[in-house]
Structure 1
Amino acid sequence: MCVVALAHRVHPDWPLILIGNRDEFHARAAAPLHPWDDGSGIVAGRDLQAGGTWLGVHAPSGRAVVVTNVRGAMPDPAKESRGALVTDMLRGDGRFADPAATDLDGFNAFNLLAVDGERVRLLTNRPLPQIATLGAGVHALANEPVDTPCPRAERLRAALAAVVEARADPEGLLDTLTATSDPALFLRGDVYGTRASTLVVAAADGTAKMIERRYEKGGRPIGTTALEFRIDA
């Protein structure tokens, strides 16, 4: 399970705020948040099993993409990697750089938010493949189909909306992501649980910051990475 929220063009200081928890098996190897050294311009953590990412920013353009899986759908190893979809959309290059709705059934069940300048898109293949354009506002996703209410997503959406309304510093949302009371945002499992909490903020002048807090089994903190960079677009 994962939960993410996005505030787009509603905070006076930070037109982009993206916050979320990545929940995954602890045995699945991942590299911490870093600028990738492959010339792609991507700043993200990296799944070392499939080679993609779950949340990242393309520093040259400011594109940001985040994906969640969808509860209850059995994964099919023959299908394309959801992390590869995120990576291609971040780069703006590759087979899945600009997917059509007809492409989406080629992936295991997912929800995805993609920010590209003024445009925000929601992509999902549950309950049906669709691509929708979202307006300025506060949006949230978790592991439910997009037509199903999700208390976790609503809890995080409300927390982000409160930060926007108060014109507050969004870094406090990283503490919000450790909430374990029902509906829990943070999972403390020894086999499966919250592996990383990530915050992305970008200002109108191109200043951007990403912070990733990482956790091992039992929810124990194992490190934090904070990066600042400029968006060239």
Structure 2
Amino acid sequence: MCVVALAHRVHPDWPLILIGNRDEFHERPAAPLAEWTDGGGIVAGRDLQAGGTWLGVHRPSGRAVVVTNVRGAIPDPAKDSRGALVVDMLRGEGRFADPTAADLDRFNAFNLFAADGTARLLTNRPQPLIATLADGIHALANEPIDSPCPRAERLRAALAAVVEAGADPEGLLDTLTAEGDPALFLLGDVYGTRASTLVAVSAAGDVHMVERRYVGGGRPAGTTVLDFRIG
């Protein structure tokens, strides 16, 4: 997921909204959004190469986590999987269920939002950081958090407009594919946007998730819509 925005406790109907695009090599295999069959309660797409995920919700608790890579950093195959970090944090179990700042350099460069009653930012670029976020609207992309990022700002502004209007956040999925400068949607045949995903959680604990998938050149490859209740 290379550009993502979070609205935390500011929309009148949806106190948690996550919206974003996952950019990845098209040849990297992935399973569509679904509830995983291992009994762990994760609802997410799945990276079939490393086994983790980039964005998901833990159905029993309502915990939501999303990760981006950081552009320009050379991946080290000896590092732990960022997708596994997301899985541990979603489940609240495992080695990295509640990571410390000292743990973050075990992973290749990343930015991460986690929301479970409070919202947190985790990153290891430019240095390891775990920070509690104020209620509001926040955005990340594949840039170090101390660098200006027009893609993140464009998506943050779009989410802010939805919040201010009290509107249905599902319309943001069209924003993720709309033309504009800077582009939120990458059309490459080798590397590009693979999925646009929305997570919206109501005050009553109802969760609405939508994943629109794409193949090379931005061609649609299917949509999954899931509605469920936390717990």
Q: Tell me the TM-score range normalised by the shorter chain.
A: over 0.9
Distance, in Å, in 2 between the alignment partners of 1:179 and 1:128 is 33
- Residues 71-110 of structure 1: pairs in structure 2 closer than 5 A: 71-110=71-110
Q: Tell me which residue corresponds to 2:136.
A: 137
Give the Å deviation of 1:182.
1.7
Q: Tell me which residue corresponds to 1:205.
A: 204
Distance, in Å, in 2 between the alignment partners of 1:180 and 1:83 is 29
Q: Tell me which residue corresponds to 2:187.
A: 188
**Equivalent residue letter for 2:3:** V
Distance, in Å, in 1 between the alignment partners of 2:32 and 2:153 is 27
**Equivalent residue letter for 1:106:** R
Give the Å deviation of 1:179.
2.4
Distance, in Å, in 1 between the alignment partners of 2:106 and 2:199 is 29
Give the 3-state SS of the residue equivalent to 1:160 in structure 2: helix
Q: Tell me which residue corresponds to 1:70.
A: 70
1:153 is aligned to 2:164: no
Query: 1:180, 1:187 within 8 Å by CA — same for their partners in 2?
Result: no
1:113 is aligned to 2:116: no
Deviations 1:8-33 (A, max 9, x none): 10000000110000000000000000
1:15 is aligned to 2:26: no
Give the Å deviation of 1:199.
0.2
Distance, in Å, in 2 between the alignment partners of 1:210 and 1:173 is 13
**Equivalent residue letter for 1:23:** D
Runs of 4+ in 1 over 4 A off after TM superposition: none
Deviations 1:57-107 (A, max 9, x none): 001100000000001000000000000000000000000000000000000
Query: 1:35, 1:41 within 8 Å by CA — same for their partners in 2?
Result: yes
Distance, in Å, in 2 between the alignment partners of 1:180 and 1:111 is 25
**Equivalent residue letter for 1:13:** D
Give the 3-state SS of the residue equivalent to 2:224 in structure 1: strand
Distance, in Å, in 2 between the alignment partners of 1:64 and 1:54 is 11
What TM-score does the superposition give when structure 2 sets the normalisation length?
A: 0.99
**Equivalent residue letter for 1:94:** G
Give the 3-state SS of the residue equivalent to 1:90 in structure 2: helix
Name whichever of 31-40 and 1-10 sits farther off: 1-10
Query: 1:210, 1:228 within 8 Å by CA — same for their partners in 2?
Result: yes
Q: Tell me which residue corresponds to 2:48.
A: 48
What TM-score does the superposition give when structure 1 sets the normalisation length?
A: 0.98
Distance, in Å, in 1 between the alignment partners of 2:178 and 2:47 is 25
Identity %: 81
Distance, in Å, in 2 between the alignment partners of 1:186 and 1:212 is 14
RMSD (CA atoms):
0.7
